[in-house]
Amino acid sequence: QVQVMESGGGLVQAGGSLRLSCTASGLRFGVYDMGWFRQAPEKEREGVSCINWSGRGTNYADSVKGRFTISRDDAKNTLYLQMNSLKAEDTAMYYCAPLSGGCLRSDWTRMTDFAYWGQGTQVTVSS
């Protein structure tokens, strides 16, 4: 049974930083491209960033480029998202998920066919 658990969210002032973590079990973590997604109230879920299985390929939404950094530690089955220079518009519930297709595809945000979603971790940025 695949389980995904996100952590590290919280309340932070604009301009601050947070580091999100995501641990996954029940799957061979190291062979999957992984992604971070977020969903704000009354908005659709959007892809934030992804990293390919080797860790050498990444993709970012335009809205977070230069501020967020994705990384992975396969020995710990853990995915990270370092978020700097946070803005009020980053406020959302953040989720991670293994991708059903390649991270480096232009349509990587749609590669969520596995539907292995955790409970998410809430990020709230006060302005």
pLDDT digits (tens, 9 = 90+) for 9-53: 999 999 999 999 999 999 999 999 999 999 999 999 999 999 999
Longest dimension (CA), the chain: 40
Residues of the chain with pLDDT > 70, as a percent, come to 100
The predicted pLDDT at position 87 comes to 98
Given a contact cutoff of 8 angstroms between Cβ atoms, the answer to whether 120 and 8 are in contact is no
What is the average pLDDT across 102-127?
92
For the chain, the straight-line distance linking the first and the last C-alpha, in angstroms and rounded, comes to 40
How confident is the model over 52-66, as a mean pLDDT?
Answer: 97
Check pLDDT > 90 for residue 115.
Answer: no
AA letter at 122: Q
pLDDT of residue 113: 82
Contacts (Cβ under 8 Å, ≥6 apart) of 81: 19, 20, 22, 36, 48, 49, 68, 69, 70, 94, 96
pLDDT on residue 56: 96
**What mean pLDDT, rounded, does the chain reach?**
96
Asked whether the predicted pLDDT for residue 85 surpasses 90, the reply is: yes
Residue labelled with tokens 């059903």: 100
Please tell me the predicted confidence (pLDDT) of residue 114.
83
CA distance 112 to 63: 20
Give the pLDDT of residue 101: 86
Q: What whole-number distance in Å separates Cα of residue 99 and Cα of residue 91?
A: 23
